């Protein structure tokens, strides 16, 4: 089986036009449509969910910027 990959941008979700294909007229082909993965968007969404979940932890809202900075500095010093 020969495979041919072509990237297009969906302009109308009700209609997909493929042109300039390297197949003969009348040749039977199998069409598989895969959405292009966007790892950055997936990671961004996971991080946002994690932040939302973290913000729900009781007491988190009371932590000050100074306390966060001190914790980071202590971590950097290996404490």
| pTM for the full predicted model | 0.42
pLDDT at 12: 93
Look up tokens 């000050």; give the residue: 64
* Each residue's pLDDT tens digit, 30-41: 999 988 888 888
Instruction: Give, as one character, the DSSP assignment of residue 60.
Output: G
CA pair distance 27, 8, nearest whole angstrom = 22
Locate the domains of the chain by residue range.
39-76
The helix (run of H) or strand (run of E) holding residue 74 is: helix 65-76
Look up tokens 């790892």; give the residue: 39
* Each residue's pLDDT tens digit, 1-36: 788 888 888 899 999 998 899 999 999 999 999 888
Confidence of residue 47 (pLDDT cuts 50, 70, 90): very high
């Amino acid at each position: 089986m020969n495979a041919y990959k072509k990237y297009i941008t969906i302009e109308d979700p009700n209609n997909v036009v493929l042109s300039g294909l390297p197949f003969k007229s009348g040749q039977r082909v199998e069409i598989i449509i895969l959405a292009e993965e966007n790892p950055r968007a997936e990671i961004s969404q996971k991080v946002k969910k994690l932040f939302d979940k973290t913000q729900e932890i009781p007491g988190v809202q009371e932590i000050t910027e100074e306390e966060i900075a001190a914790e980071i500095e202590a971590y950097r010093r290996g404490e």
